[in-house]
Chains A and B, each alone.
Chain A
Amino acid sequence: MKTWNKIKSWPLFLPVLALLLVMAVNIIHDAATGVNPLSFFMISLRNTTTNGTILYGRIIDIINRGSEVAILAIGMTLVVSASAGTDISVGSVMSLCASFMCMMLAGYGVSSTTTLAVPLVIGLLCAMVMGLVCGAFNGTLVAHLSIQPMVATLILYSAARAIGLLLCNDLIVYVRNPSFAFIGAFLGPIPTPIIITAICIIVVSLVLKKTALGMYIQSVGINARASRIAGLNSKLLIFLAYLLCGLFASIAGIVASSRITSADSNNIGLYLEMDAILSVALGGNSLGGGKFNLAGSIVGAYTIQAITTTLYALGVSSIQAPVYKAIIVIIIVVIEAPPFKDFLRKQSAARAAKGVRA
């Protein structure tokens, strides 16, 4: 019982448990369909005509495909911690940044190109600037005008995709250039998105380790008034969290766009805000703000991707998957809800009382 409680209080308990469950489902499914039950874990090298020798395996696929969610989860974690609200615009902002970048790379009104109109770096910078602008917009509304986070981000949630379409002149812009496609392809045998995600995680971890940002954000999220008395600028910190969230959304947008070498405004980042929020919740972070655990969110993100991939393997299509994720979200928030906890406590107290009487 004691060890069980210890395990239960481990911060990564929830995401790891979920991950194990997903693996179990995979193994059982493989066994039931007659495939080698351990094929889930197998990683091999494969020769391909387009990318040369690459790593291959279902785990690699999950980590690769999970890159966008993991990157988004970083920003979302900060936003949730600082403002006790979520940024539901991240998926749309991804799409907007991708559209803006492709428009810059291809030139306005061009629907397909193999040569770049501006250097790749300019395109990438444009995407990131657009992400920062969106983040600043959200941050201003939340921190300075005190608008509820979800309402504030609802504006870009619905407008960003439309603006992206407008920038692309209502077209799907294809940028079929190898230097651009590289971002979503492979560096040697390793998928580039994995490397980009790793860099993001490392940079953020270093920033959190080397500066006081992490403590500041948590402090503001836990008690903004006390933080102010202790000399922190609560508004600025909340603003900063949204700014960073916008930046990470743009990076995720770059990756997603490069994978398909195009800016498909209607599909890039679709439903990803849900995955990002789910990662944060699954990672053991309270959606009520305060303490955060970045590692939890990251593990949560890959768990979500594993769930998605597993769902696909079970024959659920990508547009049907949200049903299951919605159910998971509701289960997590219900477990977290104070009235539900009170209810459980009362139940167990009643049971204990009954036990004593008997």
Chain B
Amino acid sequence: MKTKTKKSFNSNTLLLIITIVLFIVLYAGGCIAYGAKGFTHFQTFLNILITNAGLICVACGMTCVMLTGGIDISVGALIAMDCMMLAVGMSKGIGAVPMVLLVLLVGIVFGVVQGFLVGYLDIQPFIVSMAGMFFCRGMTAVICTDQVSITEKINPMFYSWANAKVIVPFGGYTNNKGKYMAPYVRPGVIVALLVLVAIFIVLRYTKFGRSLYAVGGSAQSAAMMGLNVKLIKMKAYMLSSFLCSIGGICYCLNTMAGSVTQAAGLEMDAISSAVIGGTLLTGGVGNVIGSFFGVLINGTISSIVKTNGKLASSWPNILTAGLLFVFIVIQSLFAALRARQSSR
């Protein structure tokens, strides 16, 4: 018997390649256009990581949820709530460590509730997470309606975390005054990269990770093969909200403040990062490496817009949405192509 493999090109790998190429092109474009403004320095790249440390965590969680065929648009609001909790809690004199633990706990509880509604009650993930989004935004305002800053005086420990520099041993440059500028990242980046590696391993090498793919590939088949689909879905949302809370802490380390409008539209960045990185909206395909590049692309766009200085601040938003649009349409066309192929 001879093997009969269909010679269908693997559209998923192709999407990932497109994404990486797109990132390189964008970044190279930035270097060429704004080399004079220091875009070519290694630190510029690190700054993208620093700014987007929170987003990396959130995108990892979003990828897990999207693998099951769901979506979670509550993440931006949850981050706002996390930041506000941290800011208000610490200004009330609670220590940094207990507050961080509390935020993580709230994330898990919130995720369990959303996951229960989606997994066990079979409510559309969009409706559930939209309600979750409004709940968190409103809750942020319930905690405090003003902008609350975290200063050194309020919590020196948290302040020191935020300002700690982790020096990168290579890629420095000497500035025009002859001083060596060592490239650095913030602790948040380390956390985000650890999350990235952890989720990569979970998705690739654990039962739970593979079951996320199975549920997204075909929930019915997964159930037939004896997987507990409801529980798996619930865990996915729990993981998403938990990672989102870790992201919220990283985010707070950057902004050092809590405010109601913070992280508005971050859910969009997370979703578009995942989609650009090759995660299918229909579930079952994707990985966090792709999502990581998605975040980098989003970060590069913001960075270019910022370096330019003359472009309106809304451009990153529009470009992100535009990219999402393009990739959704590509996905939809691939899906149609595949359907035609399989129907022969």
| A residues with CB within 8 A of B | 85-86, 88, 141, 145-148, 150-152, 154-159, 161-163, 165-166, 169-170, 271, 274, 277, 287, 317, 319-327, 329-330, 333-334, 337-340
Contact = CB atoms under 8 A, between A and B. Distances in A.
Nearest to A137: B325
B145 A330 contact: no
Given A151-B71, A170-B313, A319 B318 contact: no
B122 A339 contact: yes
Interface of B: 71, 73, 117, 120-124, 126-128, 130-135, 137-139, 141-142, 145, 260, 265, 268, 271, 281, 312-315, 317-318, 320-322, 324-325, 328-329, 332-333
Contact of B130 (A88, A151, A327): A88
Contacts of A338: 122
A30 B123 CA distance: 38
20 contacts: A85-B126, A88-B130, A146-B332, A151-B281, A155-B321, A158-B320, A162-B314, A162-B315, A162-B317, A162-B318, A162-B321, A170-B314, A277-B127, A319-B138, A319-B260, A323-B141, A327-B131, A327-B135, A330-B128, A340-B121
A277 B203 CA distance: 35
Contact of A145 (B73, B131, B332): B332
Given A319-B137, A330-B117, A333-B127, A151 B317 contact: no
Given A158-B268, A322-B134, A339-B120, A86 B312 contact: no
A326 B322 contact: no
A323 B321 contact: no
A287 B122 CA distance: 13
A334 B320 CA distance: 33
Nearest to A316: B142
Please report whether the interface of chain A is mostly helix, strand, loop or mixed according to DSSP.
helix
A323 B135 contact: yes
Contacts of B314: 161-163, 165-166, 170
B227 to A, nearest CB: 18
Given A148-B281, A150-B126, A274-B130, A159 B318 contact: yes
A145 B138 contact: no
A169 B134 contact: no
Please report whether the interface of chain B is mostly helix, strand, loop or mixed according to DSSP.
helix
Given A157-B268, A319-B138, A333-B128, 4 more contacts: A146-B332, A150-B124, A158-B317, A162-B314
A147 B332 CA distance: 7
A166 B312 contact: yes
A339 B229 CA distance: 15
A337 B118 CA distance: 10
A292 B281 CA distance: 28
Nearest to A165: B314
A320 B260 CA distance: 10
B268 A154 contact: yes
Contact of A322 (B71, B73, B137): B137
Contact of B141 (A145, A317, A325, A330): A317
B293 to A, nearest CB: 20
A327 B260 CA distance: 19
8 closest A-B pairs by beta carbon, nearest first, are A323-B138, A159-B321, A322-B138, A162-B314, A162-B317, A322-B134, A326-B135, A319-B141
Nearest to B77: A322
Contact of B328 (A141, A161, A327, A339): A141
A265 B120 CA distance: 39
A334 B121 contact: yes
Nearest to A320: B141
Contacts of B135: 322-323, 326-327
B313 to A, nearest CB: 7
Contacts of A271: 134, 137
Contact of B121 (A152, A156, A322, A337): A337
B123 A337 contact: yes
A321 B137 CA distance: 9
Contacts of B145: 317, 319-320
Contacts of A157: 268
Given A155-B321, A166-B314, A321-B138, A337 B329 contact: no
Given A151-B71, A339-B120, A86 B127 contact: yes
B138 A170 contact: no
A334 B122 CA distance: 9
A304 B39 CA distance: 50
A198 B228 CA distance: 51
B124 to A, nearest CB: 7
B312 A165 contact: yes
